[in-house]
Amino acid sequence: MSFFKRLKNVVSAKANKALEKHEDPIELLELSIGKKEKLLIDAKKQCANFIATVDNIRKDKVELIEKASKYEEATKAAILKEDTEKAQSFVKQKIEIEEKISQTDARIKEQDEKIQLIKNRIQELEIEISKMKSKKQELATRLDVAEISNEINETLAGLNDDHGINLDELEKKVSQKESYGKALEDLKPKDEDAMLDEYISSSPAVDSKVSDELERIKKEMEK
């Protein structure tokens, strides 16, 4: 395979993927429904014209039957008049008309069968369109729910995105600065009063009994 042919295939494949990504399934279904509805309208018009044509054939048949009946009456009249030649002529015409009636019956039967097939196909197409419309409604609802769900999931996913911030590391840095500040505070020079206050506050409290016992021992040592 040549380089340009391979390049064409790659470009075509990428274009198809791009189109598929931006295809709206509901819109595609609506287009399909629209086409089928147009076919349905055209089929009904053609079927109506077909039925009208067969109705005209039926009218022709009625006229032929009436004409055959008249020839039969004329034949009877010729027989009564003993006009053999006319009687034979009328009978011949009547037979020819009856043959046309028979042919017309065959045509009507054939056309009626075709009309019935067309009506069946129209009914099937109507059912198919109805199903497609129901499916469109179902898919539209599912698509709305899916889009809302995706938006919610994307929003929630954004909440978990800390953009590279490590909370533990931040806490360590804050603690380090707090410790540093405390150390500076401890190293700050103190005045005399502050030092005395600190010494007093840090000295352990002496129990009175302990103090008395301590004085007694000191006195014994002085003896």
Q: For residues 76 and 91, what is the distance between their CA atoms, to the nearest angstrom?
A: 9
Residue 121 sits in the same domain as residue 212:
no
More confident residue, 130 or 5: 130
- 69 touches 97 (CB < 8 A): no
| Residue 151 is assigned to a structural domain of this protein | yes
Residue 212 is predicted with a pLDDT of 73
Residue 45 is predicted with a pLDDT of 93
Q: How many domains does the chain have?
A: 2
- 132 touches 28 (CB < 8 A): no
- 44 touches 81 (CB < 8 A): no
Please report which helix (H) or strand (E) contains residue 116, including its range.
helix 84-159
Query: From residue 131, how far is each of 29, 99, 204 by CA, in Å?
Result: 11, 48, 93
- 61 touches 104 (CB < 8 A): yes
- 90 touches 74 (CB < 8 A): yes
In this predicted model, what pLDDT tens digit does every residue of 95-123 receive, in sequence order?
Answer: 999 999 999 999 999 999 999 999 999 99
Residue 161 is predicted with a pLDDT of 55
Tokens 């198919």 sit at which residue? 128
The pTM of this model reads 0.53
In this predicted model, what pLDDT tens digit does every residue of 6-25 receive, in sequence order?
Answer: 555 555 555 555 445 556 88
Give yes or no for residue 204 having a pLDDT over 80: no
* Tokens coding 80: 């009564």
CATH code for the domain of 51: 1.10.287
Residue 65 is predicted with a pLDDT of 96
Residue 48 sits in the same domain as residue 112:
yes
Residue 83 sits in the same domain as residue 130:
yes
In this predicted model, what pLDDT tens digit does every residue of 28-40 receive, in sequence order?
Answer: 889 999 999 999 9
Residue 19 is predicted with a pLDDT of 45
Residue 65 sits in the same domain as residue 152:
yes
Residue 202 is predicted with a pLDDT of 63
